[in-house]
């Protein structure tokens, strides 16, 4: 069994007279992150197996390249990052949040190609879903169980459409509870056939407004997004989160064109949160887990159910037994419970479309 990982990386090189000077950016960022946590240069060095003198030399070289300090020493209180040091770590967060889903998908595709050459008789579980924390937790458990998996991060509508074309085994999508449920469901019923498809519930999760720590702009409702001086960062068109936001804005009669930054988009919840944490926006619409991971405050607005759509025939053939067992495992349930904003309700339960959505009119393929 093997795993392929593709990690984003960036390099900092001097220019002009300093063109020969280069920074080991990966090591520098790890050291800065350790200093941020521990307040100690020596402790950061121990984690990397480096002496204090070596670490100090690396930091001094980087400071000379930038022409400004990376650290601030506080007598009796240890060391903290300067503004530049903080900016560098926030930049790393943004890079990873924006690129990791694409690189993870590519790594999974390469794995599938190589595995097909090595063991063509063992087919991977094909999982298409938008990038999210519960889905990532499930993939971790699948990998730990050494089950071959082909993961492709796609928005909810793309995932469900791929299932209808026979391109995947599980398609992740989310549906709000309440007045927007039927509008959202109608989008997915273009591809879901109640005679062919069923749903497996993953969890409940909360979506809302991700705001800067302390919520300095006092953003409490969607109407506040149109206030002067409020900078917004959006999700990409076609994502389930963007679709939900547009439904909610229409209900509240908030014009999209009145929102500063409505056309500024990111592809994941984490990227939205990282964008806000970097100070480039004041607010975004997303899940609580992302907000908490980046030290943001959160204003809850709506609860959703997250499902995997699957073919009934795959269940009948017992091809999904292993992943269903993971979903129901107590350890996996505890993992979901540890994610802020997620609640493992009916996790692993198989539902017909009619049962999931109340058998209301419109629950037919179109």
pLDDT for the residue numbered 254: 98
Q: Are residues 70 and 181 in the same domain?
A: no
Identify whether residues 97 and 134 lie together within a single domain.
Answer: no
CATH code, domain carrying 312: 3.40.190.290
Q: Rounded to an integer, what distance in angstroms lies between the CA atom of residue 264 and that of residue 244?
A: 17
Helices assigned H by DSSP within the chain = 25-38, 41-48, 52-66, 83-118, 133-144, 156-164, 181-188, 240-251, 269-277, 288-293, 312-316, 321-328, 330-337, 353-357
Cα–chain center distance at 71: 30
Q: Say if residue 22 is in the same domain as residue 40.
A: yes
Question: Where does a domain end: 89, 107, 122?
Answer: 122
Shared domain for 261 and 179, answered yes or no, is: yes
Among the candidates 93, 122, 151, a domain finishes at: 122
pLDDT computed for residue 258 by the predictor: 98
Spatial CA neighbour of 309 closest among 97, 160, 129: 160
Residue 305 in domain: yes
Q: How high is the pLDDT of residue 13?
A: 79
- pLDDT given for residue 123 in this prediction: 81
pLDDT of residue 200: 98
- Which pLDDT value is given to residue 361? 35
State the pLDDT at residue 348.
98
pLDDT at 364: 39
Tens digits of per-residue pLDDT, 228-280?
999 999 999 989 999 999 999 999 999 999 999 999 999 999 999 999 999 99
Indicate if 94 and 194 belong to the same structural domain. Answer: no
pLDDT score of 3 more than 90: no
Q: Does position 360 have pLDDT exceeding 80, yes or no?
A: no
Co-location of 131 and 112 in the same domain: no
DSSP string over 82-136: -HHHHHHHHHHHHHHHHHHHHHHHHHHHHHHHHHHHH-TTSPPEEEEE---HHHH
Within its chain, how far is the Cα of 152 from the centroid? Answer: 13
Give me the mean pLDDT over the 49-63 stretch: 92
79-88, 99-108, 221-230, 240-249: least confidently modelled range:
99-108
Residue 323 lies in a domain: yes
Q: Are residues 239 and 264 in the same domain?
A: yes
109-130 pLDDT, tens digit each: 888 788 777 777 678 899 999 8
Number of domains in the chain: 2
Nearest to 203 by CA among 247, 170, 244, 172: 172
245 with 194, same domain? yes
**Ramachandran bin of 238, using left for φ above 0, alpha for ψ from -120 to 50, beta for the remaining angles:** left
- Euclidean distance between CA atoms 169 and 124, whole angstroms: 9
Residue 128 sits in the same domain as residue 218: yes
* 162-175 residue pLDDT tens: 999 999 999 999 99
Decide if pLDDT at 329 tops 90: yes
CATH number at residue 11: 1.10.10.10
From the number of C-beta atoms within 10 Å of its C-beta (0-12, 13-18, 19+), residue 168 rates as: buried
Count CB-CB contacts under 10 A for residue 163. 25
Q: Is 364 part of a structural domain of the chain?
A: no
Using the predicted structure, report yes or no on whether residue 15 has a pLDDT greater than 80: no
Has residue 363 been placed in a domain? no
Q: Which of 99, 122, 145 is the last residue of a domain?
A: 122
Contact 159, 243 (CB under 8 A): no
- Would residue 366 count as lying in a domain? no
Given a cut of 70, whether residue 181 has pLDDT beyond it is: yes
300 & 185 share domain? yes
Range(s) of the domain holding residue 84: 1-122
Same domain, 204 and 303: yes
pLDDT of 366 higher than 50 = no
Give mean pLDDT, residues 3-23.
75
The pLDDT of residue 286: 97
Q: Determine the pLDDT at residue 23.
A: 80
- How crowded is the C-beta side of 177, counted as CA atoms within 13 Å? 13
Which residue did the predictor score with more confidence, 11 or 43?
43
Both 94 and 136 in a single domain?
A: no
């Amino acid at each position: 069994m093997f795993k392929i990982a593709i990690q984003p990386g960036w390099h900092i090189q001097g220019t002009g007279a300093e063109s020969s000077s280069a920074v080991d950016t990966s090591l520098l960022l790890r050291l800065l992150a350790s200093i941020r946590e521990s307040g100690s240069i020596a402790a950061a060095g121990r984690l990397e197996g480096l002496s204090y003198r070596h670490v100090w030399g690396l930091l001094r070289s980087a400071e000379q390249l930038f022409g400004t300090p990376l650290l601030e020493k506080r007598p009796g209180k240890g060391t903290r990052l300067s503004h530049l040091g903080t900016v560098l770590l926030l930049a790393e967060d943004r890079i990873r949040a924006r690129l990791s889903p694409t690189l993870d998908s590519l790594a999974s595709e390469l794995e599938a190609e190589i595995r097909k050459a090595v063991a063509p008789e063992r087919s991977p579980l094909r999982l298409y879903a938008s990038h999210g924390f519960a889905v990532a937790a499930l993939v971790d458990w699948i990998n730990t169980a050494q089950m071959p998996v082909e993961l492709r991060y796609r928005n909810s509508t793309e995932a469900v459409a791929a299932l209808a074309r026979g391109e995947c085994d599980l398609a992740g999508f989310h549906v709000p509870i309440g007045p927007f449920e039927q509008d959202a469901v109608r989008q997915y019923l273009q591809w879901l056939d109640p005679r062919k498809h069923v749903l497996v519930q993953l969890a409940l999760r909360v979506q809302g407004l991700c705001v800067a720590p302390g919520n300095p702009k006092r953003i409490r409702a969607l109407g506040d997004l149109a206030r002067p001086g409020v900078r917004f960062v959006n999700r990409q068109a076609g994502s389930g989160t963007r679709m939900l936001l547009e439904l909610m804005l229409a209900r509240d009669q908030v014009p999209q064109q009145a929102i500063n930054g409505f056309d500024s988009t990111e592809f994941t919840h984490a990227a939205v949160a990282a964008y806000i944490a970097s100070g480039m926006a004041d607010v975004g619409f997303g899940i609580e887990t992302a907000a908490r991971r980046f030290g943001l405050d959160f204003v809850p607005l709506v609860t959703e159910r997250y499902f995997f759509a699957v073919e009934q025939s795959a269940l009948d053939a017992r091809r999904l037994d292993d992943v269903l067992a993971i979903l129901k495992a107590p350890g996996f349930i505890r993992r979901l419970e540890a994610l802020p904003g997620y609640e493992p309700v009916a996790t692993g339960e198989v539902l017909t479309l009619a049962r999931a959505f109340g058998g209301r009119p419109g629950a037919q393929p179109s």
